[in-house]
Amino acid sequence: MVEVFTTNIPNKHQADEIISVLENKFLGLKISFDKERTIINYPCDHSILRVEGNTVLAETFTKEVNTLGFECEILEDRLCRKQTVI
């Protein structure tokens, strides 16, 4: 199972620290971080945490990131529909 979260973790240094804490708390999960640009207006500009494992308890995971002082939300699957031009 893979779960993807949006966060306001601003840089790789802080992400590495948070990943270390999370991996110690949630043994067996593979956690990675994507930082594409500077956080300006979360959630529009955000960082991504990917979590992979047999069981990912999303609510528990988001609460733990919140406890560490950062925003964290599940990135919801959305389907884009093409608009038909008439």
Domains of the chain: 2-74 (3.30.70.100)
pLDDT confidence of residue 45: 67
pLDDT confidence of residue 10: 84
How does pLDDT run across 31-77, given as a tens digit for each residue? 998 766 555 555 566 788 899 989 888 999 999 999 999 999 998 77
The verdict on whether omega for the bond into residue 10 sits within 30 degrees of 0, i.e. cis, is no
pLDDT confidence of residue 34: 78
Residue 28 or 34, more confident: 28
pLDDT confidence of residue 55: 85
Q: Which pTM was predicted?
A: 0.76
Distance CA 37, CA 23 (A): 24
Residue 19 or 11, more confident: 19
Half-sphere exposure of 83 (CA within 13 A, CB side): 2
